[in-house]
Structure 1
Amino acid sequence: MNSQVESIFDSNISSSKSYLTASIDGKTIYFAVQKENAKYLIHEVYDAFVVASIPLALQTGRNIVVNGSISESLFYNLKNEVIPILLMTNKDYRNFEISAQELYSESINSENAIGLAFSCGIDSFCSLEINKDSPTNFQITHFLNFYAGATHNKVEHENKLGNVKNLASLLGIDIIEVDSNITDLITMSHSQIHSVRNMAPALAIQKLLGKFYYSSAYHYKDCGVFQGGTSAHLDPIILAKMGTETMKVYSIGSRFSRVEKTEVVSCNKYSYDFLDVCVDTDYQVQRKESDPMNCGVCWKCNRTLLTLEILGKEKLYERVFNLDKYYFQRDNYIKSIINDESSLSQEVLELAKENKFSPIEDLEYDKLTLINWKIKATISKYRKKVFQRLNRNKLIAVASTRRRK
């Protein structure tokens, strides 16, 4: 079976926005921008809609048939690199083909702007900080903010977007918002495929962008092609392959661990008033203007604040976190991550060990749990290397077998 991508056109669904729409299996999928930014929507190619269709194709195995044009370099890399790599990360993913009536090999005139996908989180704030000393042709000119699945509803999204707009205004950086209903098409969890799905809105505004920056989630040592990985583990591998003749894509920040990123961000004075890591939807929907930006108690607030506290910098963020709530339940959070084998949790525990962080050392864990933590904190970096080596040997063996066939 095939998924048909066709009928790209403008639509006037709203008087305040301009819509780029296409039909995917009979569903009208759109990308929308403010009226004044309509000139940035790209009609010549179906790139954005093809990429938006990838998660569905991975789940169903249905071929993507484009009744129109797709950028030639994107088509080549999706077919020969990106899709095969994604298939290696999940045994439940199904293979599929992409075809198009025409391959578009020319560069399309654009403003050649440099856009950073920006949410005011640790990853994007770190990208902003490390970009400060970049050459002129790599300096960020625009913040990009997408409604593409990171938040659970429009109210939560708009509340968070207001924070980004305020910072953009303060810094004098233009912001481009892209609204989309691709969540009607994608049922896969956002965390599993967010790097891919966030490429779609960027590809919809290629007439603006010469370069698109996407902040990595993981350190290089934790990235790779392995079963059970998410698209975020592939950022440095596949994102650059999802650019076009018009727009180059850069995955940035993977040279830092999350702990190191947090330390980098803590040197940015604007983060003290605008950092937003909270994932508590109820809090964000109900939050009043006088409330802190972050709840202080969700898992992401806890991880960020614990890292900042170990670094001795959490009090710098008293305007954007409820620190009293955090301190009240901090020990419970620490207990919850002691046996968490994820690289992000292990980074925090290793930082605590290096800094002899007393709230962890003073907790009265049973002897077995304490020994278990110390062992894991010591050998976690070696376990990852062994795991990656095994996967690399497996991939080499598979490739060798395919060549013999």
Structure 2
Amino acid sequence: MIIGKIAEKEIDGAIQLAAPITLCGETRTCFYTIPIEYADLLDTSRSDSFLLSLVTAAMLAGEDIQVEGKVSERLFYQLCDTIIPVMNVFNPRYRIISLKAEELSSKRHVSAQQRGIGTGLSGGIDSFTCIWNHFIKPPSDEHKVTHFFFFNVGAHGMAHSDADLKKIEDKFRARYQQMKITANELGLPLIPVNSNVHSFFQVGHLENCSFVSPGAALLMQRGIGRYYLASDGQTFHDKYHRLANLREQWDVAMIDPLTVPYMSTENMRFEPTETHLSRIQKTMLVADFEVARRHLNVCSNYDAMEYNCSCCEKCLRTLTTLEIIGKIDSFAKVFDLDVYRKQARKHYFAKVIARQNKELYYHGIMAAAKERGFDLREHTTFPALLWEHFKDSALHNALRKIPGLRPVVQKLKRL
């Protein structure tokens, strides 16, 4: 992989930083854009964002990286000495590669205390938990968030064609307008960063989220000295035991506490937050956060991401937890509770019961339900339970491959 020199230009009231990227013999332009009113935050002299965001793409392709520009010295050596070897152990498909840069820089901007503290505002459980702990109830003023960010780096979808890229950008901008209302209520700016970096990956967002989000944040290392990366919904204790029992991993967030601090530079320090809290514990905290009750957005349905569809995996996981803890009606403004109760609930409860020993999230839901005397079995049906157990069978996998039997399988699913 070759990361070319950065070009800066103004487009429609925004600053765009772009660099040619050569990967697998093809050269395309990777860009980031940010509204011009936030240009004072940008560090336009370093290629750190492009390098960190794309390093896993190069590892999966087995290509060494040549950066035709300046890279922060700390990031360069931490990638070489720690992150690349750790990712290779995490999953051998991430191959060991070497890095070269035209120039390394250890130059510091003004002290971190004189710069801002950033975090993402996605509207999800993890994001609102981070905001509660580091903005509403920060341990001290020195740890209080000053800027919210909203990135288009894969969470809104991943695409390769111009048409799909446009669709994802439209979705990103629609969701930004929604989250901007939330930021206004909280009294902080929400800074959008648009990018096509997700188009350089042949794998999903789960496989690179822990790199592309810090990568986008590094654009702002001139004005932001610390960045909180909200952890996913599993405690580090659970992650450790899961890693010890699974051979091939793809969810890079599993090792955020190990890798994210090593993404820091001389000018920006990354800190993963709430690694000691489970998704259940986070949901319980957020359930009493009035702003979250009006603006929570957890939906993973890419066709309905401006609102909560109330029937995708993430919506159902959140709704089930809220019901167990007795707070579901408080979120009637952001979920369609009729869709949940009439269509999706019984099937999801059956799924949680059937897979509680295979998925940490489901295990946590079952434990929370048992602790509160909430019996999921009372709210599902025997056919639904049977279907969920059947889906894990070799017979189901075989039947799915027979086109003529697919309608029969779908009818069974609707029982």
> TM-score range with shorter-chain normalisation?
0.7 to 0.9
Comparing 276-285 and 323-332, the one that deviates more: 276-285
SS of 2:6's partner is strand
1:219-368 to 2 correspondences below 5 Å: 219-224=235-240, 227-229=247-249, 230-284=251-305, 293-328=307-342, 329-340=344-355, 341-361=358-378, 363=380, 365=382
SS of 1:270's partner is helix
Match of 2:18 among 21, 24, 27: 21
Which residue in the other structure is 1:382 paired with?
none
Match of 1:125 among 111, 128, 134: 128
CA drift of 1:30 comes to 1.1
Q: What's the TM-score, normalizing by structure 1?
A: 0.84
Task: String of CA shifts for 1:108-133, please: whole Å, max 9, x gaps.
Answer: 24761000111010000011112223
Native 8 Å contact 2:309 2:336 kept in 1 = yes
Native 8 Å contact 1:53 1:64 kept in 2 = no
1:37 and 2:51 aligned: no
CA drift of 1:187 comes to 2.2
CA drift of 1:100 comes to 1.1
Task: String of CA shifts for 1:222-257, please: whole Å, max 9, x gaps.
Answer: 224563332100111110110100000010011100
In structure 2, what is the Cα distance between the partners aligned to 1:35 and 1:364?
A: 56
1:165-244 to 2 correspondences below 5 Å: 165-217=180-232, 218-224=234-240, 227-229=247-249, 230-244=251-265
Which letter maps to 1:58? Answer: M
Native 8 Å contact 2:20 2:29 kept in 1 = yes
Native 8 Å contact 2:4 2:20 kept in 1 = yes
Native 8 Å contact 2:346 2:381 kept in 1 = no
CA drift of 1:88 comes to 1.1
Task: String of CA shifts for 1:181-235, please: whole Å, max 9, x gaps.
Answer: 1022122210122111111110111112110011000211122456333210011
Native 8 Å contact 1:116 1:143 kept in 2 = yes
In structure 1, what is the Cα distance between the partners aligned to 2:337 and 2:303?
A: 19
Comparing 297-306 and 154-163, the one that deviates more: 154-163
In structure 2, what is the Cα distance between the partners aligned to 1:20 and 1:41?
A: 10
In structure 1, what is the Cα distance between the partners aligned to 2:216 and 2:115?
A: 16
Q: What's the TM-score, normalizing by structure 2?
A: 0.83
Which letter maps to 2:183? Answer: A
Which residue in the other structure is 1:385 paired with?
none
CA drift of 1:64 comes to 0.7
Which letter maps to 1:91? Answer: P
How many pairs were matched up? 359
CA drift of 1:365 comes to 4.3
CA drift of 1:348 comes to 0.8
Native 8 Å contact 1:55 1:188 kept in 2 = no
Which residue in the other structure is 1:89 paired with?
90
CA drift of 1:363 comes to 4.2
1:77-116 to 2 correspondences below 5 Å: 77-109=78-110, 112-116=115-119
Native 8 Å contact 1:239 1:251 kept in 2 = yes
Native 8 Å contact 1:17 1:33 kept in 2 = yes
Runs of 4+, deviation exceeding 4 Å: 361-366
Task: String of CA shifts for 1:327-371, please: whole Å, max 9, x gaps.
Answer: 1120111112223212112111111122221343464549x98xx
Native 8 Å contact 1:222 1:233 kept in 2 = no
CA drift of 1:61 comes to 0.9
Which letter maps to 1:40? Answer: L
Native 8 Å contact 2:346 2:379 kept in 1 = no
- Output the aligned Cα RMSD: 1.9
Which residue in the other structure is 1:62 paired with?
63
In structure 2, what is the Cα distance between the partners aligned to 1:300 and 1:141?
A: 28
Q: What residue ranges of structure 1 are gaps of 5+ in the alignment? A: 286-292, 373-405
In structure 2, what is the Cα distance between the partners aligned to 1:315 and 1:27?
A: 48
In structure 2, what is the Cα distance between the partners aligned to 1:235 and 1:92?
A: 18
Native 8 Å contact 2:66 2:101 kept in 1 = yes
**Percent of residue pairs identical:** 30
Which residue in the other structure is 2:4 paired with?
6
Which letter maps to 1:264? Answer: L
